[in-house]
Structure 1
Amino acid sequence: PGAAVSSIALWQGVALLRYHEVEQGRLLIDTIEALKSGAEN
């Protein structure tokens, strides 16, 4: 049971990390798009 619990915890940690990376990536893309549109106007 210990191995199963640790593997689930690891999977959740990886999923959380990936979600966080996606959020950061979206924020970065939004910032770049805002800078582009600001430069064009």
Structure 2
Amino acid sequence: EAKQQYSGELHIKNLQGLILVVFRVVEKWLDSKNIISDY
């Protein structure tokens, strides 16, 4: 169980990096959506 907790902490660190990447992708996606809808 201790091993599971450790891998969980590692997962959280990877998740933080993943969130940063996803945030940038979403930002670009929203930018492209704004260009298409052109409000």
5+ residue gaps, structure 1: 1-8
Alignment partners' CA distance in 1, 2:28 and 2:12: 24
Structure 1 runs, 4 residues or longer, greater than 6 Å off:
none
Which of 27, 36, 40 matches 2:37?
A: 40
RMSD of aligned alpha carbons: 2.0
Q: What letter corresponds to residue 28 of structure 1 in structure 2?
A: V
5+ residue gaps, structure 2: 1-5
